Chain A
């Protein structure tokens, strides 16, 4: 076996959280090494340069790893969940494929037990996290507008907001007519140039990569800065196991298979898991040993449990005029948080965000991307012409409450190319989540009608919306009811920390990445302080 690699801090996963940690530590002068099973994606050669981009969305850019089946992917057992996994593996992780909608949690999201008597409070508050949110915005490059009455005041985003487009303008007028909140999205997309990155040119399909580097994807934000500061990144490196030392109290080595298929090790003072809320509990469970028979750091039994997604309904309005929704970043235009907070009159707790999606291309329209597949046979072309370029969509993003039965376990049969058991998702939509979705569908439909939609089509639960994996190694003060402490370090393994969305205590009802990254930066500063370096 080749000699072990050495580093002060080793990170598993080069996605949104791993990238942020690598930069923050390298910048503090710490020797960092990151193992990533995927490689670099050449976004300059994105399929958006050809007509085939819509085919690419269904094949090599398909969000579901079970359909994409690229060499860097691992299989996911997903028969026992109505919500299929959506994830992307490579330098940048999920942000290579994401929509770049970039909202923060609200202060109340960190206090749901105190405010609403459900789930648990976080051991950290919005105010404590704010400076890392700000730092993350600066590193990412955010377009948006300060002054949203639905959120706490904050620094003005660097770039002005993206244009709403005709669909967005109509929706905004619909919300205004109903007296409901809306605000232009915070987007991790540049509208002004920045060194090495051009501003967005409104091309539309961010999901197949951004040739201009306008859309932040961590391979163009944190990684170049981390590498310039000395961080080392090993691609094609699939981690198979964390091996403990000192009677299970510390991680002694990370075992991985390199790009040539050789089995190797990394030895480091500290290990950070950043493999996302599915990949991290999978590795902890797959690393069970005599000292941790139920899985690493799993004395509480909570590793893999309390899996939260953001259950999503899709509500689309068909208008009798051209809206040209193919123009503009598909997932970033505006949102409404009118119904974000608990209202007892709804018969459920917590709330929803309504987020606008613009339109789809011809193939996705025909296949019913946000709506129903257009029927085949005579009449197809008429229906296509009625819908295409004439729709605007609101997604209903519901806060999912943590339930222990919703979980990630190891599949007893399936393994990845390195022999590591596949994660198995077991998930049932909770009663509260269903009520929130139904409530949100009714409000989204009203908003679309108020905006002038002549027809409204509802998908009550999007099947391909498992893009947020949260809560599977929750944070807390008490080792009997949490996996990591408030600083992200595992209670039971002194030199192991978790940087990804596994640590979420509750889910909020907004896209999670800004919060994942703010927590990751904060955790990195805590590690740097322990290692005697300033963050």
Chain B
């Protein structure tokens, strides 16, 4: 793994650390994808990290990233967007999403979800109302 990839993994693991069933984004091999998405912004963000970032403790890593976020908000926002996207479309994370929230670990199609009939009884009160649209 190139040093940049290792550093990007450390950044990803700080943005989305492992917790309970949730894997750390730094352990999923997403660095190359996120790096490619960011292009030069990614290299510039990594270059702005303090020396030895990967070996700092969690508090210090978070603090370092908050400083970069304050200094370069637009580029940092792109980093966060790329990281979240890569993380939440990953099959391993989708499995945890299902386990933790019940959201099915499958694409919307072709199965879809049940199209239950509309329950007209819900409209009882609305149906009792007189027309209230304004006649010109």
Q: Do A and B come from one complex?
A: yes
Interfacial residues, chain A to chain B (CB-CB below 8 A): 46, 48-55, 58, 106-108, 110-111, 114-115, 125, 145, 147-152, 160-164, 169, 172, 176, 181-184, 191, 199-205, 211-212, 322, 324, 326-328, 340-341, 361-363, 366-367, 373, 376-378, 380-382, 385, 388-389
- Distance of A180 Cα from B83 Cα, bound (Å): 42
Residues of chain A contacted by B116 (CB below 8 angstroms): 163
Residues of chain A contacted by B80 (CB below 8 angstroms): 373, 376
Instruction: Given A182-B126, A203-B113, A367-B85, check contact A48 B17 (CB 8 Å).
Output: no
Shortest A241–chain B CB gap in Å is: 37
Do B88 and A163 touch (CB < 8 A)? no
Residues of chain B contacted by A389 (CB below 8 angstroms): 101-103
Do A150 and B89 touch (CB < 8 A)? no
- Among B20, B85, B112, contact of A58 (Cβ-Cβ < 8 Å): B85
Most chain B beta-carbon contacts within 10 A, residue among A111, A115, A169, A201? A201
Do B89 and A55 touch (CB < 8 A)? yes
Residues 35-75 of B contacting A (Cβ, < 8 Å)? 58, 62, 65
Do B133 and A203 touch (CB < 8 A)? no
Instruction: Given A161-B118, A203-B112, A378-B58, check contact A366 B84 (CB 8 Å).
Output: yes
Do A51 and B101 touch (CB < 8 A)? no
Do A169 and B122 touch (CB < 8 A)? yes
Do A181 and B122 touch (CB < 8 A)? no
Shortest B114–chain A CB gap in Å is: 7
Residues of chain A contacted by B58 (CB below 8 angstroms): 378
Interface residues on B, range: 35 or more
Residues 98-112 of B contacting A (Cβ, < 8 Å)? 100-103, 107-112
- Distance of A125 Cα from B136 Cα, bound (Å): 10
Shortest B45–chain A CB gap in Å is: 13
- Among B85, B101, B122, B133, contact of A107 (Cβ-Cβ < 8 Å): B133
Residues of chain B contacted by A328 (CB below 8 angstroms): 113
Do A149 and B130 touch (CB < 8 A)? yes
Residues of chain B contacted by A160 (CB below 8 angstroms): 117-118
- Among A50, A55, A115, A182, contact of B136 (Cβ-Cβ < 8 Å): A115
Do B113 and A107 touch (CB < 8 A)? no
Residue of B nearest to A152 (CB): B133
- 8 of the cross-chain contacts (CB-CB < 8 Å) are A49-B110, A147-B123, A150-B133, A176-B125, A176-B126, A182-B126, A367-B81, A388-B103
Do A106 and B120 touch (CB < 8 A)? no
- Distance of A111 Cα from B134 Cα, bound (Å): 11
Residues of chain B contacted by A110 (CB below 8 angstroms): 136
Tally inter-chain residue pairs, CB-CB below 8 A.
165
Most chain B beta-carbon contacts within 10 A, residue among A54, A163, A191, A204? A163
| B1 in the interface (beta carbon within 8 A) | no
Do A322 and B101 touch (CB < 8 A)? yes
Most chain A beta-carbon contacts within 10 A, residue among B100, B120, B133? B133
Do A201 and B113 touch (CB < 8 A)? yes
- Distance of A478 Cα from B127 Cα, bound (Å): 43
- Distance of A176 Cα from B88 Cα, bound (Å): 37
Shortest A163–chain B CB gap in Å is: 5
Do A362 and B109 touch (CB < 8 A)? no
Give me the 3 closest cross-chain CB pairs, A-B, nearest first: A201-B112, A203-B108, A111-B136
Residues of chain A contacted by B15 (CB below 8 angstroms): 376-377, 380
Shortest A428–chain B CB gap in Å is: 24
| B5 in the interface (beta carbon within 8 A) | no
- Among A203, A378, A380, contact of B109 (Cβ-Cβ < 8 Å): A203
Residues of chain B contacted by A212 (CB below 8 angstroms): 109
Do B129 and A114 touch (CB < 8 A)? no
Instruction: Given A164-B122, A362-B103, check contact A114 B136 (CB 8 Å).
Output: yes
Residues of chain B contacted by A182 (CB below 8 angstroms): 126
Instruction: Given A53-B107, A54-B88, A160-B118, check contact A108 B101 (CB 8 Å).
Output: no
Residues of chain B contacted by A58 (CB below 8 angstroms): 81, 85
Do B108 and A48 touch (CB < 8 A)? yes
Do B101 and A204 touch (CB < 8 A)? no
- Among A200, A205, A322, contact of B115 (Cβ-Cβ < 8 Å): A200
- Distance of A321 Cα from B16 Cα, bound (Å): 25
Residue of A nearest to B130 (CB): A149
Residues 16-46 of B contacting A (Cβ, < 8 Å)? 16-17, 19-20, 22
- Among B85, B100, B117, contact of A55 (Cβ-Cβ < 8 Å): B85
Residues of chain B contacted by A200 (CB below 8 angstroms): 112, 115
Shortest B9–chain A CB gap in Å is: 15
Do A184 and B129 touch (CB < 8 A)? no
Do B103 and A115 touch (CB < 8 A)? no
| B97 in the interface (beta carbon within 8 A) | yes
Do B115 and A108 touch (CB < 8 A)? no
Shortest B75–chain A CB gap in Å is: 14
- Distance of A179 Cα from B120 Cα, bound (Å): 18
Residues of chain A contacted by B102 (CB below 8 angstroms): 322, 324, 389
Do B132 and A48 touch (CB < 8 A)? no
Shortest B25–chain A CB gap in Å is: 10
- Distance of A176 Cα from B129 Cα, bound (Å): 11
Residues of chain A contacted by B107 (CB below 8 angstroms): 48-51, 53
- Distance of A361 Cα from B97 Cα, bound (Å): 11
- Among B20, B103, B113, B126, contact of A149 (Cβ-Cβ < 8 Å): B126
Residue of B nearest to A114 (CB): B136
| B3 in the interface (beta carbon within 8 A) | no
Residue of A nearest to B112 (CB): A201
- Among B84, B103, B109, contact of A326 (Cβ-Cβ < 8 Å): B103
- Distance of A183 Cα from B129 Cα, bound (Å): 12
Shortest A478–chain B CB gap in Å is: 20
Most chain B beta-carbon contacts within 10 A, residue among A161, A172, A376? A376
Residues of chain A contacted by B14 (CB below 8 angstroms): 376-377
- Distance of A184 Cα from B133 Cα, bound (Å): 17
Residues of chain A contacted by B117 (CB below 8 angstroms): 160, 163
Do B136 and A150 touch (CB < 8 A)? no
